[in-house]
A and B are shown apart, each in its own frame.
Chain A
Amino acid sequence: MAKKNVRIPSGEVIPEIPETLDPSLFKVIGKNTERMESISRPSLTFWQDAWRRFRKNRPAFLGFCIIGLYVILAIFAPIMSKYAFDAMDVSLKYATPSLEHFLGCDGSGRDIWVRMWMGARVSLTIGFFAAFINMCVGSVIGGLCGYYGGWLDMIIMRIVDVVYGIPSLIITILVMVVVGRGIHTLIIAMCVVGWIGSCRFVRGEVYRLKNQDYVSAAKVLGVPDFTIILRHIIPNVMGMLITNLCMAIPGAIFQEAFLSYIGLGIAPPNCSWGILAKEGIKYLKVYPNQVMFTAFFICTTMLSLTMIGDGLRDAFDPRLRGTE
């Protein structure tokens, strides 16, 4: 023996080696099959792991709670209130917030609190459905193109390339003009070109997955296409799709507000957040508080959705798996 009691200065506890070692210690006991494969962290499924990380992401969870609260308020606030969203009371023109009218009244004496949540119903519905329909249409078309390729893919991708170059809002505005104002028509107008983005994304993703070895292996084993798509492709795209959906919702809400603001979205007396903002901004000089509430709710909604989107993206990112 050359050296005794080597100190390893890494904070490890190193047992003192006794002068004489008991010969019984030198019996060959062979491999320790239990320790051999020991991995110290518990194994989790993809979804368990993602959910665990999402919950730990405080901003995302907060955003989730805020959106939940807004949805509940949008459903119940107009029902619970004794005022109708379009009931005018001229004596209450520009009333300041009070216990009777939580957020005051607008220029026609309508209760802003009720109008706010009626507007939220419209804005949130449009935001969610427009984004959802876009995603569904886009992923079905993109998925088919990516998985089967061939002439179908060729044709659709050429179309997509051309349409992608056209500014989408301009097309949306024109479609709005053609089909007329309203919630349904707005959703339709937003979907005419909106699916292009998710189509491109899903196609690329499916194309990449299709060429992965485990998919080739499944094909060689004679697994039918339908099963491959169901078992291998969809679960792998799902995480990113949900993230994309969540990121697309604020965009759609934004578009609705924008269109309503320039007078091409929802038609009064229906209201949405865009219309409320427009009405409020008109009186900015004299009654600045009119627009501030709308601004607050629009911004916090966008903020929450962005944070949820970021949280989901991090939660589903396979490179971050296993970290806390």
Chain B
Amino acid sequence: MAEREKILELKNVVYSFHTYGGIVKAVRDVSFDLYQGEILGIVGESGCGKSVTAQCIMRLNPEPPGFFSSGEIFFKGQDICKMTHEQLMQIRGTEIGFIFQDPMTSLNPTMRVGDQIEEVFIHDKSMTKAMKKERALDIMAKVGISDAEKRYHQYPHELSGGMKQRVMIAMALVSKPSMIICDEPTTSLDVTIEAQILELLLQLRKEMGTSIIMITHDLGVIAKLCDRVLVMYGGKIVERGMAEEVFYETAHPYTQGLMNSIAGLETEKDEVLTPIEGTPPDLFSPPVGCPFAARCEYAMEVCHKYPPQETDLSEQHMTFCWLQHENAPKVDLTKKKTKKKGEQA
């Protein structure tokens, strides 16, 4: 891992929004890095700061009201937080591609698909119209859009949902960026199309060596796609590690909770899924200690009083949890809790 080039590095990023009710701290002290050709998954519930984190890498959050309270984001050695608008324009689209959650609303309804894809090259004066079209058709074929020449002249409303998402992906890839950020790209699609899209992303990584940040709340997507995983909760990272480590050597009660709340094929018929009770913390006034403490069944007094410290478990695997402290009781979080129907009192 170490010999590969590190293309993105976030250091203690804190991102907040001014709102009527005061300042909302959406991202609280997040640090991670991304290597060339790697797929990094970010997983968590709705409202835990995943999307904001992803968008602040490209400074896509509306500013104001959003602003960096502190932290640095290095992309190929340059600090994105300090970039001017012109510099940002150069990396957006060209260096970093972004795939949005909802393909239905993310395409301009009054512009032809082909024009929207070509728009990425708008600043490139060296390319002729024909060259741009060739690149667009080429990438459209590559992402599996059949009959690309015809689709090129169509409007978004004439395409199906899966097709639109392919167009979004084509748009993100057409300039061969070194990194793409996918913000829940398959949430609004049905399962078969989701599988095709994921397959496509894996294939593109293989062919182009693109690094991918995959944001999702679906652990299945993570398992299929990602090399490394970040688990976020309440605007903070609670656990980080290689995908296998996070799945099989779970070290944070929240990660365990997430895994207990999904049904797999092996889930038995009369098995009761255990959801995580409660709702994520209010980020207007986040709790002082561990954000998950209120919903955690292993919560201790210390969790409410002090923020947990980073504990390294292996080269890549680390967690923020007081359970890792030497004085804490030993709890096995890797065991999947199974309950049968009727057992619940």
Contacts and interface: CB of A to CB of B under 8 A. Distances in A.
| A-B interaction | yes
B29 A8 contact: yes
Given A2-B312, A9-B12, A9-B69, A24 B301 contact: yes
A4 B278 CA distance: 30
A35 B69 contact: no
A119 to B, nearest CB: 43
Given A12-B286, A25-B300, A40-B284, A4 B309 contact: yes
B32 interface: no
A41 to B, nearest CB: 8
Given A9-B12, A40-B285, A1 B325 contact: yes
Interface string A296-324: 00000000000000000000000000011
Contacts of A158: none
A261 to B, nearest CB: 42
A26 B329 CA distance: 7
Specify which of A6, A25, A30 lies most central, judged by the most chain B CB atoms within 10 Å of its CB: A25
A38 B301 CA distance: 19
Interface centre among B286, B298, B301, B304 (most CB of A within 10 A): B301
A293 to B, nearest CB: 41
Counting contact residues on chain A (CB < 8 A from B), the size range is 35 or more
A169 B23 CA distance: 52
A297 B71 CA distance: 58
B47 interface: no
Interface in B150-208: none
A269 B213 CA distance: 78
A31 B294 contact: yes
B310 A6 contact: yes
Question: Which 7 A-B pairs have CB atoms at the shortest separation, nearest pair first?
Answer: A36-B278, A25-B302, A35-B294, A9-B70, A10-B14, A26-B327, A32-B294
A21 interface: yes
Given A9-B69, A17-B309, A28-B300, A36 B21 contact: no
B213 to A, nearest CB: 23
A28 to B, nearest CB: 5
Interface in A4-48: 4, 6, 8-15, 17, 21, 23-33, 35-41
Interface of A: 1-4, 6, 8-15, 17, 21, 23-33, 35-41, 323-324
A154 B329 CA distance: 71
A15 B288 contact: yes
Contacts of B288: 12-15
Contact of A21 (B14, B277, B327): B327
A21 B325 contact: yes
Interface in B261-283: 277-279, 281-282
B296 interface: yes
Contacts of A23: 327
A13 B288 CA distance: 7
B328 interface: yes
B150 to A, nearest CB: 33
Contacts of A10: 14, 16, 25, 28-29, 69-70
Contact of A2 (B21, B25, B310): B310
B287 interface: yes
Contacts of B327: 21, 23, 25-26
Contact of A8 (B28, B285, B301): B28
Contact of A39 (B282, B287, B298): B282
Contacts of A6: 29, 307, 309-310
B293 interface: yes
A323 B285 CA distance: 17
A30 B294 contact: no
Contacts of B297: 28, 30-31
Nearest to B331: A28
A3 B293 contact: no
A114 B336 CA distance: 85
Given A29-B300, A31-B294, A32-B299, A3 B329 contact: no
Given A9-B12, A31-B278, A36-B277, A26 B25 contact: no
Contacts of A323: 19-21
Given A35-B287, A40-B285, 16 more contacts: A1-B325, A2-B312, A3-B310, A6-B29, A8-B29, A8-B307, A10-B25, A12-B288, A21-B302, A26-B328, A28-B299, A31-B294, A31-B295, A32-B293, A39-B282, A40-B282
Contacts of A21: 302, 325, 327
B307 A14 contact: yes
B76 interface: no
Interface in B304-324: 304-307, 309-312, 318, 322
